[in-house]
């Protein structure tokens, strides 16, 4: 989930850059800044998607040793994040530190990167798939049958969205993908599935702003990977409520 968080942060940053460029920079400066950022994002996505095989196939021994050493060092520090993300963060600091500093948003990024580097994280990130159904049960006035019905409908909606997203991505129909995301968003918020909700918000942003199929495919993949965890959490939370 940390890699996804990094990409979410980058998308947010991209939005900030858009706002900033329209207020403070000349058109040319804003254009160059935006292009640079998009180039960085594209590189980061490629790095994130790189398979470990491509690293192993490297013929350069010293590079491989360095890579392995860095992997070991990094995986010890933080086992959940992969080497590509680590490299991307390092590259981000090298290439964009100054730009971010100029934009006066380096402090926030540094803090987030620091947390990732140190393997620390806040409670929200740790509990992304923890769901509290007690609030929804209150809204259901304690009716467990209705709560079960809502969970079933929620799962049906999520599965439908996953299917629809796949089709719309294949046809690069961003308007329909945006619409499908819009339709499911309220249900995700209602069921307090924050992780999935955040992904869907990013999908909507992606459909409206950059319309990058690769990025959207990645976000949909995140949703598909996150959903089974959410479903499991929902089931556990329901069982817990039943036992109480």
Partner 1 sequence: MTKKRLLLAEDDELLASLLNFRLKKGGYDVSHRANGKEVKEYLAGTMPDIIVSDIMMPYFSGMELIAYVRKELNSQIPIIIISSAGNEENVLNAFELGANDFISKPVSPSELLVRVARELNKN
Using CB under 8 A, list all residues that contact partner 1. Answer: 139-141, 143, 146, 149-150, 153-154, 156-157, 179, 182-183, 185-187, 189-191
Q: How far apart are CA 60 and CA 64, in angstroms?
A: 6
Least distance from C-beta 183 to partner 1, angstroms?
Answer: 7
Does residue 217 contact residue 27 with C-beta atoms inside 8 Å?
Answer: no
Least distance from C-beta 154 to partner 1, angstroms?
Answer: 6
> 187 or 195: whose CB is closer to partner 1?
187
> 156 or 228: whose CB is closer to partner 1?
156
> 46 or 143: whose CB is closer to partner 1?
143
Helix/strand/coil percentages in the chain, nearest 5: 80, 0, 20
Least distance from C-beta 241 to partner 1, angstroms?
Answer: 16
> 90 or 153: whose CB is closer to partner 1?
153
DSSP, residue by residue, 150-185: HHHHHHHHHHHHHHHHHHHHHTT-HHHHHHHHHHHH
Least distance from C-beta 208 to partner 1, angstroms?
Answer: 10
> 156 or 163: whose CB is closer to partner 1?
156
Q: Exposed (0-12), middle (13-18) or buried (19+): which is 120, by Cβ within 10 Å?
A: exposed
> 116 or 181: whose CB is closer to partner 1?
181
> 91 or 194: whose CB is closer to partner 1?
194
Closest listed residue to residue 220, CA positions, set 233, 207, 235, 234: 207
Q: How far apart are CA 241 and CA 244, in angstroms?
A: 5
Residue 79 CB neighbours (<10 A): 9
Q: How far apart are CA 71 and CA 200, in angstroms?
A: 32
Least distance from C-beta 112 to partner 1, angstroms?
Answer: 25
Which strand (E) or helix (H) includes residue 74? helix 61-77
DSSP single-letter state for residue 239: H
Least distance from C-beta 214 to partner 1, angstroms?
Answer: 25
Least distance from C-beta 142 to partner 1, angstroms?
Answer: 11
Q: How far apart are CA 153 and CA 156, in angstroms?
A: 5
């Amino acid at each position: 989930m940390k890699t996804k968080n990094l990409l979410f942060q980058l998308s947010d940053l991209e939005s900030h850059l858009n706002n900033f460029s329209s207020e403070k920079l000349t058109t040319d400066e804003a254009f160059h800044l935006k292009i640079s950022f998009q180039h960085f994002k594209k590189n980061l996505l490629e790095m994130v998607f790189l398979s470990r095989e491509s690293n192993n196939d490297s013929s350069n021994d010293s590079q491989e040793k360095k890579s392995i050493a860095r992997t070991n060092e990094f995986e010890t520090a933080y086992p959940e994040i992969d080497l590509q993300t680590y490299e991307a963060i390092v590259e981000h600091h090298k290439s964009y530190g100054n730009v971010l500093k100029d934009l006066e948003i380096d402090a926030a990024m540094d803090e987030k990167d620091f947390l990732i580097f140190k393997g620390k994280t806040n409670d929200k990130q740790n509990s992304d798939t923890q769901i509290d159904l007690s609030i929804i049960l209150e809204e259901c006035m304690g009716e467990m049958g209705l709560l079960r019905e809502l969970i079933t409908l929620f799962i049906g909606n999520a599965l439908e969205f996953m299917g629809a997203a796949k089709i719309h991505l294949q046809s690069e129909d961003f308007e329909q993908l945006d619409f499908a995301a819009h339709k499911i968003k309220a249900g995700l918020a209602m069921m307090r599935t924050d992780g999935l909700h955040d992904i869907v918000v990013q999908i909507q942003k992606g459909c409206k702003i950059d319309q990058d199929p690769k990025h959207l495919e990645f976000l949909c993949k995140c949703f598909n990977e996150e959903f089974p965890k959410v479903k499991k959490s929902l089931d556990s939370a329901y069982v817990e409520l039943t036992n109480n």
